[in-house]
Amino acid sequence: MTGRLAGKVVLVTGAASGIGRATALRCAAEGARVALFDVAADGLQETCSRIAADQALPVTVDLTQPAAVEAAVTQAVEHWGRLDGLFNAAGGSGRSHGDGPVDRCTLEGWRWTLDLNLTTIFLVCKYATPALLTSRGAVVNLASVLGLVGGDEDFATHAYAAGKAGIIGLSRAMASYYAPQGLRVNVIAPGLIATPMSRRAQQDPAILARLPQLQPLTGAMGTPEDVAAAALFLLSDEARFITGAVLTVDGGWTVR
């Protein structure tokens, strides 16, 4: 590794698994000290076990609870004395709570899914931004290709799509507003990535058979490390002149 984040402190949400874990590990490998947020304590400890003890601060927190998020961000900033980067990966599917096509999406499914995928991003950004303004740092928020393009019958979770589109709108508004203060805000929009959240798709022969059409670059799912590499770039000083961008990491999904 090249030490591209040496001397920096990065907060990663959703760090207990998948893209959040991969990004936390990559940031630490590149020299960052990392604050790791997730509600899943066991997964969080597993992530931390792969990072040097003096580089990791695990914080078990429910990111839908405003007071808990404020306290967790305060703990991270006070522990490390600064904050240079934020990667918001926390989120997930609302199918089991009633998300679906808009005519069948339940109110519970709508509210639960928006809380998990959009309100969490808002809350972490709200409480982390003061420290990031001090360091003239960087925010990278994780959206989805479904926040950019419509999904067909295999991907008809309309609350999820609305939440991911909301992340893009929030991020670009932040990028515009905070640019004069030196804070960069960008978005990554992944396609199908082999994570615990995409297990349904990974086990569906029909979706697997569609991968050459959906993601023609490889004809396969991406890996969490593919997204982590993009996040590393956007968090690093190499992206110092980039803000408001939506970087698709999707194997060609959105170009078709």
pLDDT (tens digit, 9 = 90+) per residue, 194-204?
988 778 888 88
Q: 54: which residues sit within 8 A by CB, 6+ positions away?
A: 33
pLDDT, position 248: 98
The span from the CA of 19 to the CA of 28, in Å, is: 14
pTM of the model: 0.96
pLDDT, position 37: 98
CA 182 to chain centre: 21
Which sequence positions are flagged as catalytic?
160
The residue ranking higher by pLDDT, 203 or 190, is 190
Residues in the chain, total: 256
CB 101 within 8 A of CB 162: no
The span from the CA of 112 to the CA of 94, in Å, is: 7
Please list the residues that pair with 248 across neighbouring strands: 189
**9-255 adopts what CATH topology?**
Rossmann fold (3.40.50)
Please list the residues that pair with 246 across neighbouring strands: 187
Domain boundaries, the chain: 9-255
First to last CA, the chain: 35
pLDDT (tens digit, 9 = 90+) per residue, 95-154?
999 999 999 999 999 999 999 999 999 999 999 999 999 999 999 999 999 999 988 888
pLDDT, position 12: 98
The span from the CA of 1 to the CA of 144, in Å, is: 28
